[in-house]
Structure 1
Amino acid sequence: MRNAFLKTLSADLRQMLPFHVFVLAHMALVVGILTWHADFTAAAYLQYAAQFGPVYFLGLPAILLLGKLVAGVFRNPKAPLAWVTLPTPALLGHLAGAAAVFGSVILFMGSFTTFKTMMPALRNGFPYDRVQADLDALFFGGVDPGPRLMALFGNPHILSILEWNYSVAWTAFAFVPLFFIVLRARGAFRLRYCLGFALVWAVLGNLLACLFLSAGPAFYGHVTGDAARFAAQLRMLDNGVVAAFQTYLWQNHLQDVAGLGTGISAFPSVHVGVTMMNALFLREFSRTAGFLGFAYVFIILMSSALFGWHYLIDGYTSILVVLLLHVALKRLFAARPAAPAEDLKPSPSPAIP
């Protein structure tokens, strides 16, 4: 039994090795910069361990088991627990491998936010807001798109729905699919998805964001001194969830302290980028799923400008970069030697008694 467990765990770790190596390399770079910068208040590792750990190791597994229990009741009311069996050593090995991936995801998100929190200090502020805002207006017919979108969708009920979607629903769409793919998918697809996930955050939210650092319309007045440009748009958001979170981010920025989701950067948009990545993977399953995914990309793109988080060009850039990353990964994996047949079999159900 022990040999079967270790064999499965070893194969799982070996198959996901490129992802783990990427996470560790990213972390080493971030910790090196953090040490050089000598400001350890920017470290966000503990916050993500405290918040994401219970989600991936307790909350989502509990929801998965509850779902299987409910399904068992409907399928076989007389024996709703008939699906429960003792976990095999191979299943336990796969679950241990999945736990290692979730641990890497938590570590990666801590590194991502740590670096994002440091970016304004590394770049001595936000140097690109004026040029990005002007370019955004140029592409939108000579006017800033955010205020124009607010004039169209400024109804309080519409704003409330879009606020909930941009914060709560998007968070689930960004992080929950990863849980099920890591548990249930096998072979190249699982590795390609995890690498795509990490690359989107690292390339968009760290590399490009630091090179072209901007704060976005919500903080335009703070970083340029021109508070009037987006004032009317931002007043429509007063006392809402978005305004509260924007205040939280700015206060953390002023104190140079890291927390869950902290760090300010507009260009490009990780919200749009992650949504685009999931839409591209959905398109691989079916045209209908892909259509719904791309429709959601459009909603997130418009919402990002509506709420003052981003200029529209942030989303345009994210869509293009993620598309290029997705195509590059598919070609890279297509050029790799085919995996053994057993690596491509669906994972056994992670249900345990």
Structure 2
Amino acid sequence: MAIDISGYRAESFATSGISTGRDPGLAPERILAVIVLCQLLVVIGLRFLYPDTHPIDPLTTGLSAIAFLGVVVPICVILICFCRVVQARPEGSATAALIREIRPYVSDRRRLRNGLPVLAIFIPFMALFAHFKVNIPAMRPFSWDATFTAWDRTIFLGDLPYQWLSLVMSHPLAIFLTSAAYTAWFFIMCSSFLACAFMTTKTELRTHYLIAFFLVWLVEGNFLALVFSSAGPCYYALLGLAPDPYQPLMAALHHASLSYPMDLLSTQQRLWSGYIGEGMPVGISAMPSVHNGVAVLMALAAWQVSRSLGIVFAVYAFWIFVGSISLAWHYAVDGLVALPVTLAIWVVSGLVARWWHGADARTFTWFAIRPAAGLSNGSPS
């Protein structure tokens, strides 16, 4: 499900027509550009401190951008329009309705005017993010995995969290479905981001979500990942740590892969091959979990749209948390740390968005807003 929140806002001076000295129409592009500029300065500084790190590969970066624009974006647009059709429940053929929905959606000048600048900022942002992530082990070798395993044992009363979940999550079908949900996260995340970026109006909630989205990736996926450099349970033995308490978990994943088609183990192997120089480096990091952080962020934004949508995304966020453990990607503490960090980012981003749009930050409501006038049926446009 994609979050289309164009019709929702918190009340602010900007929407009431009172001048505040700032142009809400320029938000959040200016703020996002500042975030990317700071990110670039950090990357340049680290390049001087760690000259042996991998340089940015223009060819790989360009091909990744082309793949994102040429493959991921069209898939996400179809997903967004599909959700809009489901919401509208038109009569007749659903396929025809979807086709009719796509054309005006992609040709709407207001959407293009609002979304293309954000997309132009997002592409270099993710290129810098990926460059930073790939170089984390070179700047700070993996050193926290044993500690996080010990923390997990302490929290879960001597057992590891996957052992608590094994009653259900050791079944091949449960592993397969969870792996599918975990893989779908990428397209749900991108669809939610694009639906927000390409809204027809620049609301306070749009600014709020986009700022938080960029900061979750930057703070959790880069800065904290560098501080707490770790690989994850699936690489515990490969790091030379012994004994390996995750061997039963990896055996269960291998058994499930024999019963259902999954690319889980091959993906994990591909990332490791890139890390040891036998393939294209993609980047490995466990703490904190960006999968969990973004899932929580989507749930927070969805709750602002409607309570029912918020519950759906909250359930999905919990499933991602369970999957991050049961698929051996993350320690439980990776998700448990991502939760408060994401909440903090959400609050701070909300205060910035409210200030930018001219409302009094002292009246900021953290987890609830009201639908804009004329949307009593709760259907965002």
Structure 2 residue 302 is matched with structure 1 residue 282: yes
Structure 2 residue 311 is matched with structure 1 residue 291: yes
The number of equivalent residue pairs is 327
More helix by share: 1
Who is 1:4 aligned against?
A: none
- RCO greater where, 1 or 2, for CA within 8 Å and sep 6 or more? 2
Provide the secondary structure at the position in 2 that maps to 1:300.
Answer: helix
TM-score between the two structures when normalised by the length of structure 1 = 0.80
Structure 2 residue 239 is matched with structure 1 residue 223: yes
Name the % identity: 25
The match for 2:340 among 317, 320, 335 is: 320
Alpha-carbon offset, residue 192 of structure 1: 1.6
C-alpha spacing 1:63/1:158, structure 2 compared with 1 (3 Å): closer
Who is 1:175 aligned against?
A: 190
CA contact (8 A) 1:204 1:268 kept: yes
TM-score between the two structures when normalised by the length of structure 2 = 0.75
d(CA) in 2 for partners of 1:232, 1:83: 48
Provide the secondary structure at the position in 2 that maps to 1:20.
Answer: helix
d(CA) in 2 for partners of 1:68, 1:284: 18
Structure 2 residue 227 is matched with structure 1 residue 207: no
Structure 2 residue 42 is matched with structure 1 residue 29: yes
Provide the secondary structure at the position in 2 that maps to 1:40.
Answer: coil
Who is 2:55 aligned against?
A: 40
Alpha-carbon offset, residue 143 of structure 1: 0.9
d(CA) in 2 for partners of 1:83, 1:179: 16
d(CA) in 2 for partners of 1:181, 1:19: 14
Who is 1:18 aligned against?
A: 31
Q: RMSD between aligned alpha carbons?
A: 3.5
CA contact (8 A) 2:24 2:202 kept: no
Q: Which consecutive unaligned segments of at least 5 residues does structure 2 have?
A: 1-22, 360-371, 375-380
Could you list the per-position Cα deviations for residues 222-258 of structure 1 after superposition, in whole angstroms to 9, with x for gaps in the alignment?
2243153211110111244211111000000011865
d(CA) in 1 for partners of 2:135, 2:278: 8
Structure 2 residue 248 is matched with structure 1 residue 235: no
d(CA) in 2 for partners of 1:23, 1:256: 31
Q: Which 10-residue stretch deviates more, 46-55 or 129-138?
A: 46-55
d(CA) in 2 for partners of 1:298, 1:38: 36
Who is 2:10 aligned against?
A: none
Who is 1:303 aligned against?
A: 323
Q: Which amino acid aligns with 2:232?
A: G
Who is 2:269 aligned against?
A: 247
Could you list the per-position Cα deviations for residues 187-229 of structure 1 after superposition, in whole angstroms to 9, with x for gaps in the alignment?
3222221111110111111111110111111111122431532
What does 1:1-353 correspond to in 2, within 5 Å?
A: 13=26, 15-34=28-47, 36-37=51-52, 39-40=54-55, 45-55=61-71, 58-61=74-77, 74=91, 92=109, 95-123=112-140, 125-167=141-183, 169-184=184-199, 185-226=201-242, 228-238=244-254, 239=257, 240-255=262-277, 258=280, 262-336=282-356, 338=358
Could you list the per-position Cα deviations for residues 104-132 of structure 1 after superposition, in whole angstroms to 9, with x for gaps in the alignment?
22221121111111000101x21111111
